Each structure stands twice: as structure tokens, then as C-alpha cells.
Amino acid sequence: MNTELLKTLVRLKDKWLRLILIDESVPDGSREYQFLPRQFFLGLVALLASVLIVFMLILMFTPLGEWVYRSKESQINMQIGQVVGRLDALQDSLDVRDEQLGQIRSIIRLNTDTTLSLDERLQSLLLMQNQTVLGGVPRSAPQEVLNLSTQGLISSSLLKSEPIFPTAYPVEGTISRSFNPNEEHFGLDIAATEGEQVRALAEGTIVNINWTLANGYVISIQHTNGLLSVYKHCRTSYKREGDVVVKGDVIASVGNAGVQSTASHLHLEIWKDGLPQDPEIYLLK
């Protein structure tokens, strides 16, 4: 039934039409039928409605309908679960932010001195490294070696020495994903027990500690020779920005933090002069 025929039927919907069917294979093989287009359209609508009703009854009273409803319900439940997971991650991020804001308010209220300082262990290392013995009398290095400059920068020969590589892994665990820059994975994933201690690869200064929704606690340590080590998905951080660390210092604990984390692990990155490096080259096999 083409468009022109439909238009003709609509135009003549209130007039009786004669339909002639001719069978050319037999003599006098013609048949004539009279019909009203309005009745034809009403019959067509009634047929479609009947088919729809039968389909709905099948869905309501047969296992097919139960399967369709169950499939839709499972999809909705899965979407709800994904939304709830995102809300939980967002709530965790907000809780950490509130805790940090509370610490800042406490520092402001109590007027706590937050000036960068060397801990006793690092002071001992610096003194041992910069002392010489002349005639049995120790002679210390110049006083400015241990002093802080007006900009809060530390000057010490310890931080001027190049890091020693290869070195031990920063955490006890198993490699779960290797360095693959083609897939934008610029580090090494080490599966480890949640709460396991994370240690610094070498001497350096913590230049950034940040909590992100994607990666949990992220800690960055600047070393000499243009090297930067980054530790992601940490559960807790034991240091502050500006702290000086030595090789083997515990800086954080392993976690399953961040929406990009699927299991408890440490993501380790090493950058040199702004370019990502394969961490396995810098680690002992």
C-alpha cells in the first residue's frame, strides 16, 4: 500500500468504494467488494490494539514478563549501586577534608609553630656526615649547614648527594601491573596488605602531600639529580610537606584509597627531569 493510495483512502473515507480483484488465470475470475474506508481504518486500529493487549497479557502472566522485569530491575540495582559507591567515595573525601580543616583551625587557634625543622635523627646524620676529627677533637661543619634559611630551605650535604640505585622496594608486596606509558600507566603497581608501611626510596624533601578522590593520599618526594618519586593510593600519611626524609623512612601506609583503586596496593612513579621512568629499573630484583 503506497502513499498515494493511503492519501486517496483518507480523502474518500466517508464514501463507499468498490474493490475489484481479477484472476486472469480463469475465465470470469473477478470478484467485487464494497467497503467504507472509515471502517477499514477502524478495523486496523482495533487489530493493532488487540495485538498490544495480547502482548501485555503475555508479559503479565507468563515467565517471559518476569524475565523482562527482572532484567530491568537488575540494571536499575546495578546503577543504584554505582551511584552509592560514588557517594561513599565522595563522603570519604569530604570527611578527610573536614579533618584537615579542623587541624588548620586548631593550629590557628592555638598559634602552633609550624616552621619547618629537622628531626633529631636527621640532625644526627648531618652532624656525623659533616664532622671531622682533628687531634681527637671533633670539628663541626659550619653552623649554616643545619640552619634554615629565611625561605625555609634546608642546606645540607646529605641532600646534595645523588640517590643510590637500585634500591629496595618501598613496600613488601607483589607487582600487579607494570609500567606502560602507552596505556597512560606511568608507574608500577605493587599489591600489598592494607596498612603495610611505605618507605622512601632515597633521601629527599616531601614537596607535596595531597588527598584526591581518584588516588587517595598522594605523596611526592623531590630527590637530587632531577628525580621525583610519587606514592599513590596511600591510606594514611605520616609526614608533612617540607619534611626531609632519608632512605627507608616510613612515610605512609598502603591503602585501597581512591575510586581508581580496585584493591589494596601502592602505585609508585619515578620521574626524571619531567619524564616518567620505569620504576623497576631503579629497584632491586
- 41: cell is 481504518
Most confident of 46-50, 105-109, 273-277: 273-277
Rounded distance between C-alpha atoms, residue 246 and residue 121, angstroms: 10
pLDDT at 74 > cutoff 90: no
For residues 67-92, give the mean pLDDT: 76
pLDDT band at 148 (very low <50, low <70, confident <90, very high): very low
pLDDT at 272 > cutoff 90: yes
Q: What is the pTM for the complete model shown?
A: 0.49
pLDDT at 115: 38
Rounded distance between C-alpha atoms, residue 244 and residue 125, angstroms: 12
By CB atoms closer than 10 A (0-12, 13-18, 19+), residue 27 is exposed
Residue 38: Cβ within 10 Å count: 14
Rounded distance between C-alpha atoms, residue 173 and residue 265, angstroms: 8
For residues 72-100, give the mean pLDDT: 76
pLDDT at 114: 40
Calculate what percentage of the chain has a pLDDT beyond 90: 37
Q: Where are the alpha helices (DSSP H) in the chain?
A: 3-11, 37-61, 63-110, 120-130
Which segments of the chain belong to CATH 2.70.70.10?
174-282
For residues 240-254, give the mean pLDDT: 94
* C-alpha dihedral sign at 59, 64, 67, 71: negative
Q: What is the CATH number of domain 174-282?
A: 2.70.70.10
pLDDT per residue over 196-207, tens digit each? 999 999 999 999
Rounded distance between C-alpha atoms, residue 156 and residue 147, angstroms: 9
103 phi and psi angles, rounded to 5 deg: -65, -40
Rounded distance between C-alpha atoms, residue 222 and residue 257, angstroms: 23
Per DSSP, the residues of 220-265 read EEE-STTEEEEEEEEEEE---TT-EE-TT-EEEEEB--STT--SSE
pLDDT at 123 > cutoff 60: no
In this predicted model, which residue has the larger pLDDT, 132 or 185? 185
